[in-house]
Amino acid sequence: MPSIKRTKFKLSPEQLLEMFYWLKLIRAFDERLSILVKQGKVRSGVYTGIGQEAIIVGTGFGLRKDDYICPLHRDLGSFLMKGVEPGVMMSQMFAKTTGLSKGRDSALHSGVSDLGIFGNTSMLGANLPVAAGLALTYKMEHTDNVVVAYFGEGASNVGDFHEALNFAGVQRLPIIFVCENNQYAYSVPIEKSMAIDDVADRAESYGFDGVAINGNDVLAVYQSTQGALARARSGEGPTLIECKTYRWHGHSEHDKAFYRTNEELAMWKSRDPIPTFTTYLKGLHVLSDQQEQDIVERVAKVIDEAVEFAMSAPDPKPEDAVTDLYA
């Protein structure tokens, strides 16, 4: 099997600062949700991706509107990057009429076809065959659009994962499979569910490239994704990118995560993707202290306005539950 070609995709200072903004915004959005759910103000299940932001920013940065994403329950930031307004996203968590599904469902199952966002199901991994179907559509229509499908390392042990990768490999589909390997499938550590070290190794058996990278390095994720996008757009088929990372909170906000140690959490917190990127940008003299403060204040304003918008929005009416139905 040919090895992945290494190409350096350069970013301008403006793009690097935009990337920094997205990291800070997505972190702030999840942190505010974590507080709001403890205050009993959120009506949705909350599965934060705090600690995993580099994966969403690195894979989502530079995607086209016509590219489709198939996010996980922990990927609220991907909705924001794809074009969903923060106030609308927050409204979804508050089950308000201004949310994506007008108060019918949590953020976990909502999608926006106009923005290229496929709504996930609770059966994690079940979205992968659908993602392959979306990619097949692009191939049949002879476009160069790409599907980015996210999943966890736990989902790589279910049949849907293997069926999707096999089909994508045979058909040479324009799809990128992104594994968010955060070390735990709910409470099950990776060594209890897999006899291999890297999920990326599984791609080879389906005839395409897989690579395992540092999922806390936003630039490493970006570079790998750009290479995979270029191959997919040119008809070279799928790629599996495994991003090694860690979620700081439990599986959900009601999970106290007693199954892991404080030492393990502290070790991974020392690898926080945001301070690492901040140090890099300041070393390049791309980010000044004043610019950092400006971005922090801008993010805080966006989050405050999103919460205010959601809390002041009207609740859905009971009779509206039977509208917008197919049958």
Task: Determine, yes or no, domain membership for 28.
Answer: yes
Tokens, residue 250: 């439990």
How far apart are the two ends of the chain, measured CA to CA in Å?
48
Nearest to 41 by CA among 32, 50, 30: 32
pLDDT tens figures, 161-179? 999 999 999 999 999 999 9
pLDDT tens figures, 76-94? 999 999 999 999 999 999 9
* Four-CA torsion 250, 253, 254, 257, nearest 10 degrees: 10
Task: Determine, yes or no, domain membership for 312.
Answer: no
Q: What is the mean pLDDT of residues 282-302?
A: 97
pLDDT at 233 over 50: yes
Which of 35-44, 188-197, 282-291, 316-325 ranks highest by mean pLDDT? 282-291
Confidence of residue 252 (pLDDT cuts 50, 70, 90): confident
Measured CA to CA, the distance from residue 304 to residue 308 in angstroms comes to 6
Count up the domains in the chain and report the number. Answer: 1
Task: Determine, yes or no, domain membership for 323.
Answer: no
- For CA atoms 313, 317, 321, 324, the dihedral sign is negative
Q: pTM for the full model? A: 0.94
Task: Determine, yes or no, domain membership for 315.
Answer: no
> What domain range includes position 145?
13-307
Task: Determine, yes or no, domain membership for 67.
Answer: yes
Question: Which pLDDT score is estimated for 1?
Answer: 42
Which contiguous run of DSSP H or E holds residue 244?
A: strand 239-244
Q: Are 103 and 323 in contact (CB under 8 A)?
A: no
**Phi, psi dihedral angles at 204 (to 5 degrees):** -60, -35
Task: Determine, yes or no, domain membership for 232.
Answer: yes
Confidence of residue 110 (pLDDT cuts 50, 70, 90): confident
CATH code assigned at 271: 3.40.50.970
Task: Determine, yes or no, domain membership for 314.
Answer: no
Of the listed ranges 5-9, 159-163, 248-252, 311-315, the one predicted with least confidence: 5-9
pLDDT tens figures, 42-64? 888 888 899 999 999 999 998 99
